[in-house]
Amino acid sequence: MKSFGLRIGLFIFFLNACSPNEIRIGGECRWLVGDTVVLYGLSAENGDTLLLAVQRVEKGIIDLRTDELQLPAKVGLEIGGKKIFFIVDSKEIVCLGKEEQDSSKIRIESGELEREYQVVYRILNQKYEIPAQKLQEKIQVLEGRQEKTESERKALEELYRNLDRCKRYKKEYIKKTIQANPTHELSLFLLWDELGDEVECQDSLFREIKIMNKKSNIYRLLAQKLL
């Protein structure tokens, strides 16, 4: 793919001539010459970080290949000193950057699962994460005062109640989204990413999910943890 000005392209291909599970992440990133790019995921056997591919970029060309994942799976890409996480399914992915030498501007446009995940993520961020962050900032200010007035103590108690409510509502939204989509593989990624600290909730919801593809990396990760 050509690189026009500030645009960086990455594509994912399934190579029929090789292993049916082999994927290739490649493209042209001219500002990465001499850098090392790392692709990694999680082992479905024990949940440990699994190194999938490493490359020292020459002439700005990336070519990472692996056949160690059963798709769909979430992978991490270390590129330009930044870590980017995205879901890999059977679709093409594209990586775009607003500034050619600032990988923090890179965003991933992947397959259908990643696009759907980003829709849910934006909802969670706008409805729950941003409000929770603002509450935490106000709490931090009040907690930093050594001597608090009675009104400040009451305000602090109310802030903590609102923060707890915000976290509870977020959990309920995720739970209802998963329950409404028991046959959709997106539910597996929400279960793993958003409810990782809620083992009992994870276990209960995982048993409600009816996914046909039980060989995927994400399904096996959850099964290994919960079953």
Nearest of 130, 39, 25, 29 to residue 85 by alpha carbon: 39
Peptide bond into 72 cis (omega under 30): yes
Q: Does 57 or 131 have the greater pLDDT score? A: 131
Tell me the residue length of the chain. 227
The mean pLDDT of 186-213, rounded to a whole number, is: 94
- Cα separation, 222 vs 190, whole angstroms: 11
- What's the pLDDT at 197? 87
Would you say residue 100 has pLDDT above 60? Answer: no
More confident site: 29 or 87: 87
pLDDT at 152: 94
Give residue 3's pLDDT.
34
> In 3D, which of 179, 135, 178 has the Cα closest to residue 160?
135
Tell me which amino acid residue 153 is.
R
pLDDT at 114: 87
DSSP notation for 100-129: TT-GGG-EEE-SHHHHHHHHHHHHHIIIII
Q: Which of 64 and 6 is assigned the larger pLDDT?
A: 64
Q: Which residue has the higher pLDDT, 31 or 192?
A: 192
pLDDT tens per residue, range 153-190: 999 999 999 999 999 999 999 999 999 999 999 999 99
Q: Are 218 and 192 in contact (CB under 8 A)?
A: yes
Q: What is the mean pLDDT of the chain?
A: 82
pLDDT given at position 96: 40
pLDDT at 154 (0 to 100): 96
pLDDT of residue 71: 87
Read off the pLDDT of each residue in 83-100 and give the average, rounded to a whole number. 63
5: confidence class by pLDDT, cuts 50, 70, 90? very low
Reported confidence tier of residue 102, pLDDT bands at 50, 70, 90: low
Q: What is the structure's pLDDT at 21? A: 61
Q: How far are the Cα atoms of 6, 10, 29, 75 from residue 2, in angstroms, in the given order? A: 11, 10, 10, 25
